[in-house]
Amino acid sequence: MQKLIFGIFVAFLITHCSSDKNEYLVKIYDAEYDEIGVPSCYVNSKGDTVVPTGKYYYCYTDTIRHIGMVIEKESGKIIGIDQNATELFEVFKYDNGPDYIQAGLFRIIKNEKIGYANENGEIIIEPKFDCAFPFENGTAKVSINCSIKKTGEHSGWQSDEWFYINKKGERVNK
């Protein structure tokens, strides 16, 4: 019986300690509750600090397996980071937080243009649009020439040149 338990323990250690897929970062915060402005950091699965406490204003993601979302202190921009704390791109801000993943993609910003990345943090469609809606039923409504129109406290995009793209970034008829 002891050999069986020992064998299960060794198998568990081998499968969980030797696989890259088990590498991740975990958020630790310095308060009773996790709230915006509470100092937090990320540690790896070995317990080493990868993102020091206070580097970012807020860390949205509890566990980073591929990509995490954090808020920069100075600019207030939402940034996507990987497991090595490498800043990948700015994440499109929607509803006061990071853009939602829809149909496996979310919006990102580079050089003031909008594109799309997947849930692994890979850029799928390079940022080249001035305005871009989330994907819905395999397509997204985008424009290369648009402006922001304010109505009271709300704002929206306005363009006479909307078109649709597929998940490869190719123009499609709707």
pLDDT (0 to 100) of residue 11: 31
Q: Kindly state the percentage of the chain with pLDDT values over 70.
A: 87
Same structural domain for residues 82 and 98?
A: no
Note whether residue 98 is domain-resident: yes
Single residue among 47, 64, 91 that ends a domain in this structure: 91
What's the pTM value of the predicted model, to 2 decimals? Answer: 0.81
Same structural domain for residues 85 and 122?
A: no
Note whether residue 19 is domain-resident: no
Note whether residue 16 is domain-resident: no
Is there a contact between 26 and 35 (Cβ–Cβ < 8 Å)? no
Average pLDDT over every residue of 106-133: 97
The whole-chain average pLDDT of the chain stands at 86
Domain that holds residue 168: 93-174
Tell which wins on pLDDT, 142 or 46. Answer: 142
- What is the number of structural domains in the chain? 2
DSSP per position, 43-75: EETTS-EEE-TTSSSEE--SEESS-EEEE-TTT
Average pLDDT over every residue of 7-16: 36
Gap between the Cα atoms of 110 and 126, Å rounded: 9
pLDDT (0 to 100) of residue 4: 29
Same structural domain for residues 97 and 170?
A: yes
pLDDT (0 to 100) of residue 36: 82
Average pLDDT over every residue of 32-45: 87
Q: Using DSSP, how many helices (H) and how many strands (E) does the chain show? A: 1, 19
Note whether residue 11 is domain-resident: no
Same structural domain for residues 138 and 159?
A: yes
pLDDT surpassing 90 at residue 171: yes
Single residue among 91, 110, 136 that ends a domain in this structure: 91
Average pLDDT over every residue of 133-162: 92
pLDDT surpassing 70 at residue 20: no
Same structural domain for residues 174 and 99?
A: yes
Nearest to 35 by CA among 71, 87, 78: 71
Distance of CA 30 to the CA centre of its chain: 23
